[in-house]
Each structure stands twice: as C-alpha cells, then as structure tokens.
Structure 1
Amino acid sequence: MTTFLLVIIYLAFISLGLPDSLLGVAWPTMQSDYGAPLETAGLLFMTIAGGTIISSLASGRILKRFGTGNVTFVSCLMTAGALLGFHFAPSVIWLVVCAIPLGLGAGAVDSGLNDYVATHYKAHHMSWLHCFWGVGATFGPIIMAQFISGQNSWRDGYFAISGIQFALVVILFFTLPLWNRVTTSNNTLNEEPEATKGTSFNEDAKDIKPLQIKGVKLALISFLFYCGVESTVGLWGSSYLVNVKDIPVAVAAQWVSFYYAGITVGRFITGFITFKISNSTLIRVGQIIALSGAILLILPFPSSLSLVGFIMIGLGLAPIFPCMLHETPTRFGKKHSQKIMGYQMAIAYTGSTFMPPILGLIASHSTIGIFPFCIVVFVAAMLLSSEKLNNLLKKKGLLNRKDASSTAF
C-alpha cells in the first residue's frame, strides 16, 4: 500500500508541473486571439502566484482539518477545472477568473504533498518527487507546442492537459481511503521519531506559534532566496547570454534548457546520494556548487564557459529545495511541520514571483550585465542564512540526524 500511494503522489507531482509553463508557451497565440496587451500575461501570472501564496499560507490549517488525501483531491479538481476554463474562456476577464482556482489548487497540493512525503518517507523520495515535477514541467510545453504547431489551437492544448488532470482526479477519488490506511498501518507514524523527541525547538509548548520557533525565520529566508535564484536564472539567463555574451538567441535558449536539465537530472541523482549523505551536507554542497557556477559567469572567461556556469548552477540547486523541505519535520517537529511547510512554500512562491521582476526593473535602468552579480548575492544570502540555521540546529543537537523524521520506506 505504501508503494502504491507513493506512485499516486509521484503522478500528482507530474500533474502539478504540467500547467506551470503552459502560459509562457501559449501566450503569443493567446495574445493574438484576444487582442490583449503583452503585459496581460504578467497579470495572469501574478494572479496564479497570488492564489498559490494564499493557499500555501492557509494549507497548514486546512490539511490538519481535512487530511492530505482530501485536500489533494479537491486541489487537483480545482486545477483541472481551471485549465478547462482556460479552454472555454471567451475573454481575458475569464482567464483571470480561472487563474484564481488554478493558483489556489496548486499551492494547497504542493504544500500538502511536500509535508506528507517529508513526514512519512525518506529523503530520496523527496528528491525524486521534485524530479517528477520537472518531468511534468518539461512535457507541459511539449504537449502545448504539438497542438499549436499542428492545429494552431492553444485551447486544445489546455483541454488535453485538463483531461490529464481529470484522469488524476478520478484516480485520487478511488484511492482516498488509502491515505488514512497507510498512515494508520505504520505504528511509528503517529509518534515522534526517537531522534527528534524532546529536541525540537519548544514544539511541545502549548502556546507557541510556528513563527516563534527558533530557526524558522532563517529557514524562510533560505527558501526565499532559493526560489529567487531558480526563477531569476530561468527568466533572465537567456537575455544575459544574448546581450552580454553575444550568444545567438537559439543557442542561448538551449543553454538555459541545460540549466533546467541540470536541476531535473541532479534531483534524480540526489535521490541515490541521500542514502549515504545527510540532507544538511547536500544543501551546503549544492549551495557551494551554485555559487561557484554564478561566479564563473562573472569571470572574464570565454563565452563557452558560460554554459558550464549555467549547468553548475542547475546541478547545485538540484538538491537544495527537496532536502530543505525534507528537513522540516526534523528541524521543527512534526507537530508544526504542516504549518511551517505552508509558510515555506508561500515564501518560496513569493521569491519566484517578485525577485525576477525586481532584477528586471533594475536592469532596465542599468544593464542586464548585473545578472550574475545578483545571482551571486542571492546564493550567498541563501548560504549565509542556511549556515546560521545549521549552527542553531547544531547547538540543539538536531544537525546531521539523517532522515530522523522519516518513518516509512
């Protein structure tokens, strides 16, 4: 049962990644059909992101009341319905309306599944989980491109992705009883692991709030800068290569795709490495590799080495996000992990939503040449906050307790 449920969770994360990059691929055709301004895509993106942030912040309370299985089912139903709404939307206003449940559904299922895997499974499954998100994010644009190039119909592309989501909704509906059965069948799931009993930050205090737990704010800062780096490199990397390194547009796009491939492949490999190396070590090594790759972009080397820099950044970022998520119950206790996970996801989405536009605004008044310097600053800030948190955990005796929060598989 545990293995079968894990397969369902992997499928859910593929479906979570499918819609994430659809708008960017479809918008040139959508803009022409609606006669909308270019910046309308930014409005839609912000609406989706806003819904995601709100649902992530509320996810702790919702998950505690309704359970991960029910929340995942309803969230995927909302996402599928929203994508179907994009297919039928007669105007931009309806696109904005549909963007709201799309964001709300994505945030809730993301937080819920991350917390469930962090609490119930070992670290390698968290890395592979986010690798499967990369699979979905990769195939979404491919599916959309097939419909746009073949029939010039972005609506059919959204309809196809919606159909995949509805298929998952049906699977989730018939497997709802499995979630509670798997949880209760493991006798240790309802107990705090021995490695973390009595050692987390005042988690048993009756009146303490998650944000009052020592170290939580440092963890949130790490998530903010991580997603700021990941999304900023993806958004502005090509522009930097074209305008500063004089790389042809098509080649620059390919090089940025290698950056995403580095993240996806790196997470797959990380899943095996976690059997031997602790999450905290993988986070530190990943940050150092990403920082080295960003510095490589600054140094006056031949332009061809910029590809190496982008791949290094991608490979460095690969283990950081899933390992930080998996550490949440160990760092702060299972009692507060759902709420803290929601806060972390909300801050992560905040970083990916606002930090790339801020860099773009600064670059528009100066030069895109500031791109690698900003990446270095972002990674350095993430590394600094992460190391401060490690020192705090070390004092509390929680550092390097490998997979202490995992009780299954």
Structure 2
Amino acid sequence: MWYAVGAFLSPFVTMLLMGAGMNWKTILRLLAVLTVLIVLSYATMDYRKIEKEEKKETGEEHSQAAAPKEKFWFLKNTGFLLAVGALFFYMGLENSVNGWFVTYLKSTGFMSASLATVMVSVTWIMIMIGRIVIANVSKRVPPAKILAVISTLQFASVLILVLANNTAMAVAALVLLGLGMAGAFPTTTAFTGDLMGNSPLGMSVFTGIGSLGGILTPQVIGVLADKLGFQAAILFLVLDAFLLALFGAGALRYATNQKIQVERP
C-alpha cells in the first residue's frame, strides 16, 4: 500500500523539485541519501518482536508430525512453477510501466510529456484503489480465481493501450491496467504460500525469480527499442502480458484440478 503511495507521489515531487531549479544530478544525489537512510533504518531496527513470533510459529510447526521433504521439492510442484511464471511476467510488466510508459505515451503523438507523466501516477492511484477492493474480495474469493482475472485484465489493458489512437482510449487502458496490477503480487504470494506452507527457502526462490522479470524485461525493451524502434519494442510488453495471462489461467486450472484454492474451507 505505502509502496503505491510513494510511486504515485514521486513523479509530482520530482516535477516540483525540477520546477524549483534542481537539476537531475541533484535529485539523484537526494535519492542516494534516502537510500542510505533506508539501509540505516533496517540496520538499526528492533527485530526482537518479529523473532519471537517466528520462534513461536516454528515451535508450533515442530509440534506437528510431518514427513521430511527434499530441499527443493517445490521446484517439482506445477502450481509453484505457474505462480513463479506469473510473478516473473508481472514484475516485468510493472517495472516496464514505471520505466518506459512515459516515453511510450509521448511517442504516440497524441499525449503531451506532462500528461504522460501524470498518467503513470493515475495508474498508481488505481492500483491503490484496486488493492483496497481486492483486500475485501479476497475474503470471499480464493487467490487462484483472483489471479486468473487480474492477469487477463492486465493483458487486455496493455493490448488496448498499444492499439489506442487517442488520449481517451489510452487513459481508459491505463485505469484498467492499474486495477489489474493492484493485487497481482500479494495474490500470487498468497497462492504460493498456500501451496508451500510458507517455506522460507521456497518463498526466497519465488521472490528471487520474480525479481529477475522486473530486471530483464525493461532491459530487453530497451535493446529492442535501439534496434527496431520504440513502437516495435513495446510489442514485447504485449507478449509479456499475454504470458502473464497464460500463467494466471494455468494456476486456476491447476487449482481446480487439485481442488485447492477454489472453495474456502
């Protein structure tokens, strides 16, 4: 939630700082200082309460008899692989929206630079609203169903955005995209956690592979933009969104076949 607030406010803060006479180098130095402060915050934080809760949960788990599993057993679990794939392509889409969409919207010719910057913030407003809605919906609807719906919505939104030939169509697509992106990460995490029993190693692999998508996809788009032009490169994002929808649908089918995540106990 607070991540979305920061993503929404940061373009406006940047514009205000640049309007006040700051150049981009000064703003980057400010970001570097804030990054150091975040590291110091984590380094000096009191983790004793968290550690007590973890020990309590560990004690409860050990009290229950459980058959030993292989260290990387989750890599053989189809549901886990589908969830990792969905997260990989979602993170690629999210980071590309943050990194490339202002450039893309300006290149369309029907949207000004200032409006394009504002529209990314509008997308994050919709993400905040969507997360509040999904938090309530998730009490009644299992993660697999939500994941399938929002993955499909993201694909449809990106496709509409690429085909848009006027401002109204692009704005509608970005609003829908924000709603689709709203619950992608927490929903995918919830689906995976239910499958794995919140295995620390499994969740580390899950988030690690997902993060790779956020790193690689914007880089691929940049390389393609240099070689083929930006309009052609953005089609790679359509492919990314399509694969996200495919993995989301696969997760729902897996859950249905395994009779998990579909009906709440």
TM-score range, shorter chain: 0.7 to 0.9
Aligned partners of 1:151, 1:380: CA distance in 2, in Å?
40
Aligned partners of 1:211, 1:273: CA distance in 2, in Å?
30
Kept after mapping to 2: 8 A contact 1:224/1:347? yes
Aligned residue number for residue 384 of structure 1: 246
Structure 1 range deviating more: 161-170 or 269-278: 161-170
The one of 162, 168, 172 aligned to 1:308: 172
Aligned residue number for residue 48 of structure 2: 177
Q: Which amino acid aligns with 2:205?
A: Y
Q: Which amino acid aligns with 1:354?
A: L
Aligned residue number for residue 80 of structure 1: none
Residues 314 and 188 (structure 1), Cα distance of their counterparts in 2 relative to 1, 3 Å cut: farther
Aligned residue number for residue 235 of structure 2: 373
For the pair 1:250 / 2:114, whether they are aligned, the reply is yes
For the pair 1:330 / 2:200, whether they are aligned, the reply is no
Aligned residue number for residue 294 of structure 1: 158
Counterparts of 1:82-161 in structure 2, within 5 Å, are: 131-138=1-8, 149=20, 153-154=26-27, 155=29, 158-159=32-33
Deviation at 1:240, TM superposition (A): 1.8
For the pair 1:236 / 2:100, whether they are aligned, the reply is yes
Which structure 2 segments of 5+ residues have no match? none
Aligned residue number for residue 285 of structure 1: 149
Aligned residue number for residue 341 of structure 1: 203
Deviations 1:254-291 (A, max 9, x none): 11221222223322332222222221222122112212
- Secondary structure at the counterpart of residue 262 of structure 2: coil
Kept after mapping to 2: 8 A contact 1:134/1:264? yes
Residues 151 and 395 (structure 1), Cα distance of their counterparts in 2 relative to 1, 3 Å cut: closer
Deviation at 1:228, TM superposition (A): 1.1
Deviation at 1:350, TM superposition (A): 1.0
Aligned partners of 1:347, 1:265: CA distance in 2, in Å?
27
Aligned residue number for residue 321 of structure 1: 185
Counterparts of 1:11-26 in structure 2, within 5 Å, are: none
Deviation at 1:321, TM superposition (A): 1.2
Residues 136 and 244 (structure 1), Cα distance of their counterparts in 2 relative to 1, 3 Å cut: closer
Aligned residue number for residue 76 of structure 2: 212
Kept after mapping to 2: 8 A contact 1:236/1:371? no
Aligned partners of 2:5, 2:216: CA distance in 1, in Å?
25
Q: Please, what TM-score do these two structures have when normalized by structure 1?
A: 0.55
Kept after mapping to 1: 8 A contact 2:8/2:122? no
Kept after mapping to 2: 8 A contact 1:240/1:368? yes
Deviation at 1:214, TM superposition (A): 3.1
Deviation at 1:135, TM superposition (A): 2.8
Deviation at 1:332, TM superposition (A): 2.5
Q: Please, what TM-score do these two structures have when normalized by structure 2?
A: 0.81
Residues 289 and 189 (structure 1), Cα distance of their counterparts in 2 relative to 1, 3 Å cut: farther
Deviation at 1:351, TM superposition (A): 1.0
Deviation at 1:218, TM superposition (A): 2.2
Aligned partners of 2:42, 2:54: CA distance in 1, in Å?
21
Which structure 1 segments of 5+ residues have no match? 1-130, 405-409
Deviations 1:332-371 (A, max 9, x none): 333xx22221112112221111111212221222232235
Aligned residue number for residue 107 of structure 1: none
Q: Which amino acid aligns with 1:135?
A: V
Aligned residue number for residue 135 of structure 2: 271
- Secondary structure at the counterpart of residue 391 of structure 1: helix
Identity of aligned residues (%): 18
Deviation at 1:226, TM superposition (A): 0.7
Kept after mapping to 2: 8 A contact 1:144/1:158? no
- Secondary structure at the counterpart of residue 276 of structure 1: coil
Q: How many residue pairs align between the two structures?
A: 261
Structure 1 range deviating more: 179-188 or 249-258: 179-188
Aligned partners of 2:179, 2:63: CA distance in 1, in Å?
33
Kept after mapping to 1: 8 A contact 2:110/2:165? no
Aligned residue number for residue 396 of structure 1: 258
